[in-house]
Structure 1
Amino acid sequence: MTQSATDELAITGIECFAHHGVFDFERREGQVFLIDLVLGLDTAPAAASDDLHDTVDYGSLVATAKAAVERDPVDLIETLAQRIADVCLLDSRVEWVRVTVHKPDAPIDATYSDVALTITRANGGPARD
């Protein structure tokens, strides 16, 4: 992945209730989704100034990401993950974002602990290894 920021800010286990899924009952009943975010950014300016305005306000970011999850149902977690990445990349200080969408109650006829999709996106398109 191409990154110039050496710093990472992680926010894990953001719990959201939404109505995403391919099946009618998923849309009707809804379910819990858990979101993990890792942001690539340069934290040196904030460290030097000790000022919130010089970094990403992760409280506001979580509220915005949560709202993005909880609106407008979609069929696929791939679509949802991209929506979340797009929201995170609106802040120009975020050079790249890694988004994991967990769907622990996915309708699978088997015993399992989680379904998760992780994507990485950078300002200007997908991040590359």
Structure 2
Amino acid sequence: MQAMPDRVRLTGMRFSATHGVYDFERAQPQTFVVDVTCELLSRPDSDELATTLDYAELARVIAADVTGEPVNLIESLAERIARTCLRHPLVGAVEVTVHKPNAVMPVELTDITVTITRSRPA
């Protein structure tokens, strides 16, 4: 039986950014919340940070993705974040959820999310 991969999960990362299709979304920053789960290709073989995924560094690069160049779609933002996570040599797969809780909508709602799952090419 194959062991389940180790996972590193960061949830509820909050950012202010100007992603969106409409001009008002680009003019006034909105809150975006990001959840990321990375599946690791190997288990640490020591108690050293270098043998695993540094989640503080991962949070920093995700912050740069979210607060960087605006995109129209949160789907595109999720793709950007997934590509960043998969650049780490220990990450084999990643699930990214982008929340846009304050999106202007024609109906009342609590949140809008997009979730994608991506893996390293075989």
TM > 0.5: yes
Structure 2 match to 1:41: 40
What is the percent sequence identity of the aligned residues?
A: 43
How far apart are the structure 2 equivalents of 1:5 and 1:97? 14
Deviation at 1:110, TM superposition (A): 1.3
2:48 maps to which residue? 51
Give the superposition deviation at 1:83: 0.2
CA-to-partner distance for each residue in 1:39-88, whole Å, 9 max, x for gaps? 0014522xx31000000100010010011110111100010000000110
Q: Provide runs of 4+ in structure 1 moved above 3 Å.
A: none
Residue identity opposite 1:108 in structure 2: M
> 1:69-84 alignment to 2 at 5 Å?
69-84=66-81
Pairing of 1:1-129 with structure 2 (within 5 A): 6-42=5-41, 44-45=43-44, 48-124=45-121
- What is the one-letter code of the residue matched to 2:105? I
Distance, in Å, in 2 between the alignment partners of 1:120 and 1:85 is 8
User: Is residue 20–residue 73 contact of structure 2 (8 Å, CA) maintained in 1?
Assistant: yes
TM (norm. structure 2) is: 0.93
SS of equivalent to 2:104: coil
CA contact (8 A) 2:42 2:90 kept: no
What 5-or-longer segments of structure 2 have no aligned partner? none
Number of residue pairs aligned between Structure 1 and Structure 2: 121
Tell me the TM-score normalised to structure 1 length: 0.88
CA RMSD for the aligned pairs? 1.7
AA of the residue aligned to 1:14: M
Distance 1:41 1:29 in 2: 37
Decide whether the 8 Å contact of 1:95 with 1:122 is kept in 2.
yes
SS of 2:91's partner is coil
